[in-house]
Amino acid sequence: MIEWDATQYHAFIAERVRPNDDLIAKLRGDPKQIADLGCGAGDCSTLALRRRYPDARICAIDSSASLIEEARRKEAAANIDWRTGHIETFDADETLDLIYLGSSFQWVPNHAEQLARLAKLLSAGGTLAIQMPNMFHTPFYTSILKVAEAPDWRSRLQGKLRQAPVLAANEYAAILGSLGVTYEVWASTYEQRFSGVDGLVEWAKGAPLRPISSLLDQISFDAFCDLYAGQLAHHYKNNDGSCTLPFERLFIVARRQALNA
């Protein structure tokens, strides 16, 4: 079970909010029933959805009880139902006008199966909106797997880390096409600049390194991060010591046909 650290995740809140804002800006209609799946503490997605749709009822779920509790403390709005739960088993009592997954779908296995299941929960004219990092083929992520293969870590980490969970854009297009929905699939790259390698590692601690930190004690995790930093410096360090990370995100907006279409 991955333990999430809200403080670490929110250290780069502006960078994490931006792709959610970009996705929400693409949405159309006036949904009344919304599910925000993998909402975290709500800062990046749920509250933005409430600002965009103030009259909507939002069911916001996350697997982390601590993050949900933090969300309740910060925002106890009557039209937001904060729940602890898992995306892959989420169900709704009624059809939903919008199902939103902001940087959470990458943690879910069997994307084809899940897309089919979530599409069935949409109302006529309802929308499924997803954004997720598409960095698993880059040194930012492959360096984690490389360090994990070193003798010091192999016995503790072997078989416990995910391989690339995100499919190619054309594969998502094929899946969505088979579901009979209209869809858009696209990628955007966000150039993120850090003052040095340490800053890039701090960014990684917010999400891709969380499984490592959940499996190792603090001393071992710090040593792992030192080796990971060396790998990152080789690929992303600039001549002035800063680091630039081209961070690609994959976006999906799928719409179920309206009854009067």
Whether 152 has a pLDDT exceeding 90, the answer reads no
What pLDDT is stored for residue 179 in this prediction?
A: 96
For the stretch 43-88, pLDDT in tens is 899 999 999 999 999 999 999 998 999 999 888 777 999 999 999 9
Which one-letter DSSP state was computed for residue 140?
A: H
Q: What is the mean pLDDT of residues 176-195?
A: 96
Q: Which token pair is 69?
A: 């509790």
What pLDDT is stored for residue 160 in this prediction?
A: 84
What pLDDT is stored for residue 207 in this prediction?
A: 85
Q: What is the mean pLDDT of residues 222-237?
A: 96
Residue with tokens 């199902």: 99
Residue 236 burial (CB count, 10 A): 20
* Percent of the chain at pLDDT exceeding 70: 95
Domains annotated on the chain, with CATH: 6-255 (3.40.50.150)
Rama region for 110: left / alpha / beta (φ>0; ψ in -120 to 50; rest): left
CA angle 247, 117, 180 (to 5 degrees): 85
What is the rounded distance in angstroms from the CA atom of residue 98 to the CA atom of residue 104?
16
Whether 1 has a pLDDT exceeding 60, the answer reads no
The DSSP bridge pattern shows strands 96-102 and 33-37 to be parallel
Whether 261 has a pLDDT exceeding 60, the answer reads no
What is the rounded distance in angstroms from the CA atom of residue 238 to the CA atom of residue 163?
28
Whether 13 has a pLDDT exceeding 80, the answer reads no
Whether 102 has a pLDDT exceeding 90, the answer reads yes
What is the rounded distance in angstroms from the CA atom of residue 143 to the CA atom of residue 10?
23
What pLDDT is stored for residue 168 in this prediction?
A: 95
What pLDDT is stored for residue 164 in this prediction?
A: 76
Q: Residue 183: which of 192, 191, 174 has the closest Cα?
A: 174
Whether 118 has a pLDDT exceeding 80, the answer reads yes
For the stretch 155-175, pLDDT in tens is 889 888 877 789 999 999 999
pLDDT confidence of 131, banded at 50, 70, 90? very high
What pLDDT is stored for residue 161 in this prediction?
A: 84
Residue type, 46: T
For the stretch 207-220, pLDDT in tens is 899 889 989 999 99
CB 160 within 8 A of CB 214: no
Q: What is the mean pLDDT of residues 134-158?
A: 92
